Amino acid sequence: MPTIIDIAKKAGVSFKTVSRVLNEEVNVRPATRQKVLDAVKILNYRTNTAARNLRSKRPKVIALLINNPSQSYTQSVQLGALLGCQKYGLFLNLHTKYDKETIVSLASNAETIGFILTPPISDNKKVLETLSNLRKPFVRLGTKHPKAAGTCICIDDRQASYKITEHLINLGHNQIGFIKGHADYETATHRLLGYQEALEANGLTTNNDLIVQGDFSYASGLVLTEKLLGLNEKPTAIFASNDEMAAGALAAAYKKGLRVPDSLSIVGFDDSPIAMAVYPQLTTVRQSLSDMIEKAVEILAKPQTDNKNKIVILDHALVLRDSTGPALDT
Amino acid sequence: MPTIIDIAKKAGVSFKTVSRVLNEEVNVRPATRQKVLDAVKILNYRTNTAARNLRSKRPKVIALLINNPSQSYTQSVQLGALLGCQKYGLFLNLHTKYDKETIVSLASNAETIGFILTPPISDNKKVLETLSNLRKPFVRLGTKHPKAAGTCICIDDRQASYKITEHLINLGHNQIGFIKGHADYETATHRLLGYQEALEANGLTTNNDLIVQGDFSYASGLVLTEKLLGLNEKPTAIFASNDEMAAGALAAAYKKGLRVPDSLSIVGFDDSPIAMAVYPQLTTVRQSLSDMIEKAVEILAKPQTDNKNKIVILDHALVLRDSTGPALDT
DNA sequence: AGCAACAATGACAACGTTGTCAATTGCTCT
DNA sequence: AGAGCAATTGACAACGTTGTCATTGTTGCT
Q: B207 pLDDT exceeds 90?
A: yes
B247–A277: do the CB atoms touch at under 8 Å?
yes
Which residues partner with B139 through β-bridges? B116, B151
How many whole angstroms separate alpha carbon A3 and alpha carbon A48? 8
Distance (Å) from the C-alpha of residue B204 to the closest C-alpha of chain A? 32
pLDDT at A266: 98
CA B58, C1' D19: Å apart?
A: 11
User: Dmax over Cα atoms in chain B, in whole Å?
Assistant: 79
Taking Cα atoms as reference points, which of B96, B298, B79, B286 lies closest to residue A92? B79
CB-based contact B223:B287 (threshold 8 Å): no
CB-based contacts of A133, cutoff 8 Å, min separation 6: none
Do strands A284-286 and A317-319 pair parallel, antiparallel, or not at all (unpaired)? antiparallel
pLDDT at A307: 56
Considering only CB atoms, A277 lies closest to which of B49, B72, B276, namely B72
Q: Which of B48, B53, B250, B258 to mutate to test the interface with A (most CBs of A within 10 A)?
A: B53
Q: What is the pLDDT of residues B183-205, one digit of tens each?
A: 999 999 999 999 999 999 999 99
Residues 204-243 of A with CB under 7 A from strand D: none
CA B118, C1' D17: Å apart?
A: 33
Asked whether residue A29's C-beta has any atom of DNA/RNA strand D within 7 A, the reply is yes
CA B170, C1' D10: Å apart?
A: 79
Please give the interface size between A and B, counted as residue pairs whose CB atoms are below 8 Å apart.
109
CB-based contacts of A208, cutoff 8 Å, min separation 6: none
Q: What is the pLDDT of residues B142-171, one digit of tens each?
A: 877 666 677 899 999 999 999 999 999 999
Mean pLDDT of chain B, nearest integer: 93
Q: What is the pLDDT of residues B118-130, one digit of tens each?
A: 999 998 989 999 9
Q: Is the dihedral of CA B118, B124, B130, B131 positive or negative?
A: positive
Taking Cα atoms as reference points, which of A35, A34, A91, A87 lies closest to residue A64? A91
A91–B92: do the CB atoms touch at under 8 Å?
no
The SS3 call for residue B228 is helix
Considering only CB atoms, B218 lies closest to which of A54, A78, A278, namely A278
B279–A79: do the CB atoms touch at under 8 Å?
no
Do strands A311-314 and B112-117 pair parallel, antiparallel, or not at all (unpaired)? unpaired
B92–A75: do the CB atoms touch at under 8 Å?
no
Q: B100 pLDDT exceeds 60?
A: yes
Asked whether residue B16's C-beta has any atom of DNA/RNA strand D within 7 A, the reply is yes
A251–B278: do the CB atoms touch at under 8 Å?
yes
Q: Give start and end residues of each alpha helix (H) in chain A.
A: 4-11, 15-22, 30-43, 49-55, 71-88, 100-108, 125-132, 157-170, 186-201, 218-229, 243-255, 273-277, 289-301
Chain A hits for B222, CB-CB cut-off 8 Å, are: 279
- Chain B residues with CB within 8 Å of chain A CB: 48-54, 70-72, 75-76, 78-79, 82-83, 85-86, 89, 91-92, 217-219, 222, 244, 247-248, 250-252, 254-255, 257, 273-274, 276-279
pLDDT at B174: 94
Q: Is the dihedral of CA B250, B251, B254, B255 positive or negative?
A: negative
- Return positions of chain D under 7 A from a protein CB: 7-12, 14-20
CA atoms lying within 13 Å on the CB side of residue B61: 12
Chain B hits for A247, CB-CB cut-off 8 Å, are: 247, 277-278
How many whole angstroms separate alpha carbon A328 and alpha carbon B3? 72
Query: Which helix (H) or strand (E) segment is B132 a member of?
Result: helix B125-132
Asked whether residue A57's C-beta has any atom of DNA/RNA strand D within 7 A, the reply is no
Asked whether residue B5's C-beta has any atom of DNA/RNA strand D within 7 A, the reply is yes
A79–B83: do the CB atoms touch at under 8 Å?
no
pLDDT at B150: 78
Considering only CB atoms, A254 lies closest to which of B53, B76, B251, namely B251
pLDDT at A127: 93
How many whole angstroms separate alpha carbon A299 and alpha carbon B111? 29
Q: DSSP assignment, residue A140? A: E
How many whole angstroms separate alpha carbon B141 and alpha carbon A288? 28
**No. of helices (H) and no. of strands (E), chain A:** 13, 12
pLDDT at B311: 87
Asked whether residue B15's C-beta has any atom of DNA/RNA strand D within 7 A, the reply is yes
Work out the angle between the directed axes of helices B186-201 and B157-170 (0-180°, nearest 10).
Answer: 40
Query: Which helix (H) or strand (E) segment is B285 a member of?
Result: strand B284-286
Going residue by residue through chain A, which has 330 residues, state the pLDDT in tens, using 9 for 90 and above: 999 999 999 999 999 999 999 999 888 999 999 999 999 999 999 999 999 999 998 899 999 999 999 999 999 999 999 999 999 999 999 999 999 999 999 999 999 999 999 999 998 989 999 998 998 899 999 877 666 677 899 999 999 999 999 999 999 999 999 999 999 999 999 999 999 999 999 999 999 999 999 999 999 999 999 999 999 999 999 999 999 999 999 999 999 999 999 999 999 999 999 999 999 999 999 999 999 999 999 999 886 555 566 889 999 999 999 999 999 765
CA B28, C1' C4: Å apart?
A: 22
Which residues partner with A240 through β-bridges? A179
